[in-house]
Amino acid sequence: MDNSKTLVIGIGNEYRGDDAAGLLAARRIRDNAPKGIEVIENSGDGADLIAMWAGRSKVVLIDAVLSGSPAGTIHKFTAPGPVLPSEIYKFSSHLFSVTQAIYLSASLGNLPQELTIYGIEAASFDSGTQISAEVETAINNVVQSVSQII
């Protein structure tokens, strides 16, 4: 596969506790990514995501989520697929959510051939830069998983 068509997107806010999980994972992946893999950080606006992944063959998206599962749980989805992550994004802080971006992009026919979503279950979205121990462990596990698929 042409690595120039591969994109890793870390989503989050580094000043809202565990919400920084996607950003931190992206930074660690960027440090060891193969040549040609683009790794970016984003706040998670759905319209931005659609524009970023347009024309890409492989996209990996990493974000903190809140579904009621234990902190540090890793949710993995692929799109297109039979199940999309609407349940883990039911409390999105984004005006135009990740799930909405996936559905809209699919309906427009510009969803990447392979879109993998990792949702890291957060313990807290409180103000500050402290990451919970469970989420820190999950970040490391996601980084390992993503490194294997890119």
Kindly report, residue by residue over 2-41, the tens digit of the pLDDT: 667 899 999 999 999 999 999 999 999 999 999 999 999 9
Give me the CATH number covering residue 45: 3.40.50.1450
Residue 96 has pLDDT above 70, yes or no: no
Contact assessment for residue 122 and residue 71, using Cβ atoms and an 8 Å cutoff: yes
How many domains, in total, are found in the chain? 1
Of 73-82, 106-115, 131-140, the least confident: 73-82
Give the mean model confidence (pLDDT) for residues 96-111. 82
Rounded to whole angstroms, the Cα distance separating 98 from 16 reads: 18
Mean pLDDT of the chain: 88
- pLDDT, position 97: 75
- pLDDT, position 88: 52
Q: Would the CA dihedral through 6, 74, 26, 28 be positive or negative?
A: negative
Q: Where are the alpha helices (DSSP H) in 6-132?
A: 21-32, 46-53, 98-108
Q: Which residue has the higher pLDDT, 62 or 89?
A: 62
What residue numbers bound the domain in which 48 lies? 3-149
Q: Is the peptide bond before 80 cis (omega within 30 degrees of 0)?
A: yes
Tokens of 51: 């524009």
Residue recorded with tokens 């994004």: 89
Of the candidates 5, 21, 25, the one whose C-alpha atom is nearest the C-alpha of residue 146 is 25
Tokens of 47: 């319209």
- Residue 78: which H helix or E strand, with range? strand 74-79
Residue 144 has pLDDT above 70, yes or no: yes
- pLDDT, position 45: 85
DSSP code per residue over 91-145: T-SSSS-HHHHHHHHHHHT---SEEEEEEEEPS---SBSPPPHHHHHHHHHHHHH
